[in-house]
Structure 1
Amino acid sequence: MSRKTGPPPGTARLVFREMTDEDLDAIAGLLGDPDVMRYYPRPKDRSEARGWIEWNQDLYRREGFGLWVIALRETGEFVGDCGLTPQEVEGTVDVEVGYHVRADLQGHGYATEAAAACRDHARDVLGIARLIAIIHPDNVPSQRVAEKIGLSHERDTVYATGPARVYAAWLR
């Protein structure tokens, strides 16, 4: 059953929208960037970026949420993606907040701003009780984002891509 709600309303600096096929160049550039993907097994190629868009479009239909494109409110410039996805960790499915910001735009607080909006959307609109983030142990900047939006390190585990730290918070 779909809980179609659309993306969060946005923030002072960012807007959210669903990914479309027209985003392939931007998503391929983001997920193909070795700096952005340094904590993943490898950058994604164009075909995998297309699959990423299709996966999110399927999530929008099935769940009513997914990762959304984030763009600068003033100019519409592509910043990255951020949103909510169901993830299974050690046999339990939780909703994860995830985020990728272009390497040249990192360090400006966009990931924190977008992730906080997604956290609020998960709690206030979708009624999600628990939110997680699955983060590579060496990805300190992502861990800081999770902590800034109220998630705490819960445990270390092995995830599909290797070692991971699970950050979590009860939203209600």
Structure 2
Amino acid sequence: MSIQLETERLELFEWSQETVTGLKSFLQNPEVMYAYEHGFSDDEVENWLKWNLKSYTENGYGLWGLRKKSSGMIIGECGLTNQKIEGETFLEIGYHLAKEYWHKGYAIEAAQRCKQYAFNELKAETVVSIIRDTNLASMKVAIRNGMLPQKYFIKTYRELEMPHYLFSVTKNNSYQE
């Protein structure tokens, strides 16, 4: 398992077939995936894994698994992906955490590290988070990560129209540790 980034409490690692059980542990939970309106099936998890593996190869980044350093437990994922919104491609910081790890600061810890990586290593000028309009917890993470809402748009997923906000921060307007 290749560790990509670290924080005080977390290791961010590349997903693989060997860690797919950890991925299923939260992607298949409808409460965790409520912004998608359903928990993922085995096939959807497999496609998610393939999408990340392709991103690692093509871009050098993707959504990375989150493992607690203290226990080795996989608690979710956070990372960078390329997302197309209304014809424009954005570098997005995305995150999903197993429910039992919500509200413990793990999402912001990982998201801030991904922002640092995007600005310092990838030399990105802007990063975004794309968040469904009902997902207040994710909005709070984005705001704590220095982002502000820039755009409101509709995303269609499984024939459902879902309002979203595009939160963003630029390198020049971001505190760098």
Instruction: Report if TM-score (shorter chain) is over 0.5.
Output: yes
**1:13-46 residue CA offsets vs partner (Å, 9 max, x unmatched):** 0011100101221211211101101111321111
- In structure 2, relative to structure 1, the CA distance for the partners of 1:93 and 1:81 (3 Å cut) is same
Structure 2 CA distance for aligned equivalents of residues 50 and 27 of structure 1: 9
Please say if residues 8 and 121 of structure 1, whose CA atoms lie closer than 8 Å, have aligned partners that are also in contact: no
Three-state SS of the structure 2 residue aligned to 1:52 is: helix
User: What's the counterpart of residue 3 of structure 1?
Assistant: none
Structure 2 CA distance for aligned equivalents of residues 69 and 20 of structure 1: 9
Tell me which amino acid in the other structure corresponds to 1:148: R
| CA-based RMSD | 1.2
5 Å matches for 1:15-164? 15-161=11-157, 162-164=162-164
Structure 1 CA distance for aligned equivalents of residues 167 and 4 of structure 2: 22
Three-state SS of the structure 2 residue aligned to 1:160 is: strand
Tell me which amino acid in the other structure corresponds to 2:85: V
Please say if residues 28 and 50 of structure 1, whose CA atoms lie closer than 8 Å, have aligned partners that are also in contact: no
Give 1:50 deviation, angstroms. Answer: 1.1
Please say if residues 8 and 117 of structure 1, whose CA atoms lie closer than 8 Å, have aligned partners that are also in contact: no
Give 1:160 deviation, angstroms. Answer: 3.4
Q: TM-score, normalised by structure 2?
A: 0.91
Please say if residues 7 and 65 of structure 1, whose CA atoms lie closer than 8 Å, have aligned partners that are also in contact: no
Give 1:78 deviation, angstroms. Answer: 0.4
Three-state SS of the structure 1 residue aligned to 2:35 is: coil
Greater shift in the superposed pair: 142-151 or 7-16: 7-16
Structure with greater proportional strand content: 2
- In structure 2, relative to structure 1, the CA distance for the partners of 1:147 and 1:7 (3 Å cut) is farther
- In structure 2, relative to structure 1, the CA distance for the partners of 1:50 and 1:59 (3 Å cut) is same
Tell me which amino acid in the other structure corresponds to 1:143: M
Greater shift in the superposed pair: 118-127 or 158-167: 158-167
Tell me which amino acid in the other structure corresponds to 2:163: P
Three-state SS of the structure 1 residue aligned to 2:66 is: strand
Count of aligned pairs: 167
Three-state SS of the structure 2 residue aligned to 1:35 is: coil
User: What's the counterpart of residue 6 of structure 2?
Assistant: 10
Q: TM-score, normalised by structure 1?
A: 0.93
